[in-house]
């Protein structure tokens, strides 16, 4: 074990849970335009907590245990929803319920950002190509995301107090670090070659948001976390850095602009792995990077970052260790569980298997399959598979899309239930009606999840203050002879069946209405790419006589086939 005290500066085990309290973590998986669905889930989740705690404050007869949301981990679109949560929760914001699309902005930061503003018509703009001296950074124009980000940081409503939100609220976002962090595995035998060099690219950024809802707890601090102090403001550097991290996490490779991230070199001195100690017990061991001589002695460590989902699209473990500590364990048994991680995954289904027969596979197909294999292997977590096989684990739950199909008798699950599910998760950007559907479906799914799935055996002592009260027996459910209680009970306006199933948005988008913008974006990319090419006439001729029309046919055909396969045309 290295001669260092660095592992001791991380919480080995978190402080004990508060009495009568479930401590929660949210893991928000990458979702592309499925972020609108996740936004709807979060909107209902926070509304349910509001109604429950408001009823308690008024002295109504409702369950009396407590909830404390401590951490949100996110990848890609999940990171953006993490920032939206941190911005919105200090305020009393309006919620969007089932019904027609609102004509204007609603004041709901989740709905306005995801449904009203992130749209293909903005992403097909040309503002990012205005400076001919700058390289092409992405196929789509990401400048509209920067505008939305600034507006989100300027959000404000009437302030409120939420005792169920921890202070600080931890947010951990995954990013793919294209620069990489070097490490060296030392071997004996050749003094000229000290060891085997490796490079780590799966990275994350950790934040502690001062919510002001409760006294700031310092016992949960990690040395690599950045403190974000309230209130939110677009000119505050801590909030800008917070939002920049989320935009970096959401920078879909090639599609959206990559981002530059700066952080202290010392952050990487705190990375640890868990290994068996000399007595067989688990020990955290620091793995300091193998920086070049003097490289870490000045300035900040800077790197270009893209989509965190490329390496870790479901950062469940980051949320779990924030709750439990580096060596801690969250109790899993139903009568002992007190910490729960809820994973919100709009696209939980597995990828399509790759080729199985060499004779029917060509070079292009094999290379495409290799890139897919790299991504899926980077995301593979066998320890999560092992725990998922145990039905008695109550420390982890998942919410994912589900709705009846448009044909009688069938049911759509996962990405197939979303209007955002076509085009690899990008189709939601095509129409506001698609995103409106997905947002409302998220609210509906969350209502049923809280009522029917997020249940723990009523024998758990956290429920002792009310589970035996006959006046509150209506909150209990009996499943296969065992009595369960809700972790988050539905109270007031959130109970019942208010969240109606939204109509499937078939026919809400016409491919031909978007093609002029697609052509305009293609033309702008062509001009930017060929500005410094010597043989400009030949290139111009090929583009205008053949290539442009071919690409437009390909895009139009791909859009039509993808939307038709989802019954959206």
Per-residue confidence (pLDDT) for residue 67, from 0 to 100: 97
Per-residue confidence (pLDDT) for residue 362, from 0 to 100: 77
Q: Are 41 and 77 in contact, with CB atoms under 8 Å apart?
A: no
| Backbone angles phi and psi of 479, in degrees to 5 | -125, 120
Low pLDDT (below 70) residues in the chain: 1-10, 280, 297, 371-372, 374-376, 378-391, 497, 532-546
Calculate the average pLDDT of the chain.
89
Per-residue confidence (pLDDT) for residue 5, from 0 to 100: 44
Per-residue confidence (pLDDT) for residue 481, from 0 to 100: 93
Q: Are 18 and 339 in contact, with CB atoms under 8 Å apart?
A: no
pLDDT tens, 76-90? 999 999 999 999 999
Per-residue confidence (pLDDT) for residue 306, from 0 to 100: 97
Per-position DSSP letters for 35-57, written without gaps between them? HHHHHHHHHHHHHHHHHHHHHHH
Q: Are 75 and 315 in contact, with CB atoms under 8 Å apart?
A: yes
Look up residue 252 and give its two tokens.
Answer: 């879909």
Look up residue 516 and give its two tokens.
Answer: 């002029």
Annotated catalytic residue within 14, 33, 76, 144 = 76
Per-residue confidence (pLDDT) for residue 215, from 0 to 100: 84
**Residue-range domain boundaries for the chain:** 21-176+199-265+307-349+364-508, 510-568
Angle (CA) 314-320-326 rounded to 5° is: 125
Known active-site residue 356: no
Known active-site residue 76: yes
Using a 10 angstrom Cβ sphere, with 0-12 exposed, 13-18 middle and 19 or more buried, the burial of residue 13 is exposed
Per-residue confidence (pLDDT) for residue 4, from 0 to 100: 41
CA dihedral 162, 165, 168, 170 (to 10 degrees): -140
Helix, strand and coil content of the chain, in percent to the nearest 5, comes to 40, 20, 40
The Cα 439–Cα 106 span in angstroms is 13
Q: Are 62 and 15 in contact, with CB atoms under 8 Å apart?
A: no
b/e 194-221 (16+ beta carbons within 10 angstroms → b): eeeeeeebbbbbbbbbbbbbeebeeebb
Place of tokens 């596979």: 361
CATH numeric code, 21-176+199-265+307-349+364-508: 3.40.1090
Annotated catalytic residue within 66, 128, 269, 307 = 307
Q: Are 239 and 153 in contact, with CB atoms under 8 Å apart?
A: yes
3-state SS assignment for residue 222: coil
Q: Give pairs for 105-112: CB < 8 Å, separation 24+.
A: 107/157, 108/43, 109/84, 109/152, 109/155, 110/39, 110/40, 110/42, 110/43, 110/81, 110/84, 110/439, 111/39, 111/40, 111/43, 111/439
DSSP state of 20: T
DSSP-derived pairing of the beta strands 165-186 and 66-74: parallel
Q: For the whole model, what pTM was predicted? A: 0.93
Per-residue confidence (pLDDT) for residue 2, from 0 to 100: 39
């Amino acid at each position: 074990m290295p001669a260092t005290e660095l592992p001791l500066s991380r919480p080995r085990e978190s402080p004990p849970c508060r009495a009568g309290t479930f401590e929660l973590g949210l893991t928000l998986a990458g979702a592309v335009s499925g972020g609108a669905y996740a936004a709807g889930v979060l909107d209902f989740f926070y509304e349910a907590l509001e109604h429950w705690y408001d009823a308690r404050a008024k002295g109504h007869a409702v369950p009396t245990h407590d909830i404390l949301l401590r951490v949100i981990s996110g990848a890609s679109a999940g990171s953006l929803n993490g920032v939206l949560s941190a911005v919105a929760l200090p305020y009393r914001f309006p919620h969007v319920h089932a019904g027609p699309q609102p004509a204007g902005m609603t004041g709901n930061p989740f709905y306005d950002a995801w449904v009203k503003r992130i749209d293909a018509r903005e992403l097909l703009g040309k503002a990012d190509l205005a400076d001919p001296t700058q390289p092409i950074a992405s196929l789509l124009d990401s400048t509209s995301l920067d505008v939305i980000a600034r507006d989100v940081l300027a959000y404000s409503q009437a302030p409120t107090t939420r005792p169920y939100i921890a202070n600080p609220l931890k947010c951990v976002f995954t990013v793919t670090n294209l620069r990489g962090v070097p490490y060296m595995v030392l071997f004996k035998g050749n003094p000229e070659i000290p060891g085997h060099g490796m490079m780590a690219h799966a990275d994350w950024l950790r934040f502690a948001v001062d919510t002001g809802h409760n006294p700031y707890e310092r016992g949960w601090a990690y040395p690599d976390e950045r403190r974000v102090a309230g209130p939110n403001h677009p000119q505050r550097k801590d909030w800008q850095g917070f939002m920049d991290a989320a935009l970096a996490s959401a920078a879909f490779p090639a599609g959206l602009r990559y981002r530059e991230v700066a952080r202290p070199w010392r952050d990487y001195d705190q990375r640890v792995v868990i290994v068996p100690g000399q007595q067989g017990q688990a020990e955290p061991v620091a793995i300091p990077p193998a920086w070049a001589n003097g490289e870490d002695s000045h300035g900040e460590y800077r790197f270009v970052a893209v989509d965190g989902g490329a390496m870790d699209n479901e950062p469940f473990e980051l949320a779990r260790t924030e709750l439990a500590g580096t060596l801690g364990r969250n109790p899993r048994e139903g009568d002992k569980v007190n910490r729960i991680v809820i994973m919100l995954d709009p696209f939980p289904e597995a990828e399509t298997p790759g080729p199985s027969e060499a004779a029917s596979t060509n070079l292009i197909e094999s290379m495409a399959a290799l890139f897919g294999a790299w991504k899926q292997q980077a995301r593979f977590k066998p320890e999560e598979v092992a725990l998922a096989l145990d039905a008695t684990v109550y420390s982890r739950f998942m919410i994912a899309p589900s709705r009846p199909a448009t044909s009688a008798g069938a049911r759509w699950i996962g990405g197939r239930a979303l209007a955002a599910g076509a085009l690899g998760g990008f189709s939601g950007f095509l129409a506001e009606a698609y995103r409106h559907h997905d947002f409302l479906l998220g609210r509906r799914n969350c209502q049923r999840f809280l009522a029917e799935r997020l249940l723990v055996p009523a024998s758990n002592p956290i429920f002792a203050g009310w589970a035996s009260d006959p006046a509150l027996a209506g909150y209990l459910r009996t499943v296969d002879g065992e009595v369960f209680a809700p972790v988050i009970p539905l109270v007031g306006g959130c109970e019942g069946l208010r969240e109606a199933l939204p109509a499937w948005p078939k026919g809400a988008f016409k491919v031909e209405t978007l093609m002029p913008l697609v052509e305009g974006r293609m033309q702008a990319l062509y001009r930017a790419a060929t500005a410094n090419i010597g043989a400009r006439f030949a290139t111009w001729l090929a583009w205008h006589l053949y290539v442009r029309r071919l690409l437009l046919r390909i895009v139009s055909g791909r859009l039509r086939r993808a939307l038709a396969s989802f019954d959206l045309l």
